[in-house]
Amino acid sequence: MMVNQNNREAQNCTDGQSGGALLPPAAHDLTIVEQTPKLDLDTCGVYWVKRTCTRDGCQDEFTGLVPIGQTIGGEQNYKAIAYELYESHYDTPRQISYPAVQTLVQTADRAHRTAITNNLCDAAKLGRLDAEEDRPKRTKQDVVDTALTDDPTY
């Protein structure tokens, strides 16, 4: 009986008396209860996700942006995703979600991450503007040359 009690306590996510968290978010038994696409491309996407813990007695919820598919990890991937953003916003003109695009950029260097995110947003904005002005769709190289002005080094 003592073993079962210890196992049950090990499964608790929060302290029963204080209500404070005993486990970090990654250790919870999380289930997605809601997700909303914020960016949906051919090779990647970003969803706003709400997750709740399914353990008895735990009421913790976690929300945030989650990348799906490819993320920015190299120059070719960066250029490919930039062109996907351009095409997507050309085909369906709309505003770009900066936080969603930033979620795709997987680098610890804050300045590098900001430069890449700004360039990707510029590619999306270029697509929207070209569509609104009835300009023909640009080539990938033209988008790279026009929108990716801050050339981050990999």
Within a domain: residue 131? yes
Which of the residues in the chain have pLDDT under 70?
1-26, 74, 150-154
Amino acid at 144: V
Say what the pLDDT of residue 21 is. 56
Domain range for 71 is: 27-148
Within a domain: residue 15? no
Domain count within the chain? 1
Within a domain: residue 138? yes
Say what the pLDDT of residue 107 is. 85
- How far apart CA 68 and CA 18 sit, in angstroms, is 36
Within a domain: residue 6? no
Residue range 75-95, pLDDT digits in tens? 778 999 999 999 999 999 999
Say what the pLDDT of residue 102 is. 95
32 Cβ contact partners less than 8 Å away, ≥ 6 residues apart: 49, 50, 51
Within a domain: residue 53? yes
Within a domain: residue 5? no
Residue range 60-69, pLDDT digits in tens? 788 899 999 9
- Sole residue written with tokens 């930039």: 82
Within a domain: residue 69? yes
- Long-range CB pairs of 54-61 (<8 Å, 24+ gap) are 54/29, 54/30, 55/11, 55/12, 55/13, 55/28, 55/29, 56/11, 57/12, 57/13, 57/14, 57/16, 58/12, 58/13, 58/14, 58/28, 58/29, 59/14, 60/13, 60/14, 60/21, 60/25, 60/28
Within a domain: residue 119? yes
Say what the pLDDT of residue 126 is. 97
- How far apart CA 23 and CA 74 sit, in angstroms, is 34
**Pair 52, 33: CB distance under 8 Å:** yes
**Residues belonging to the chain:** 154
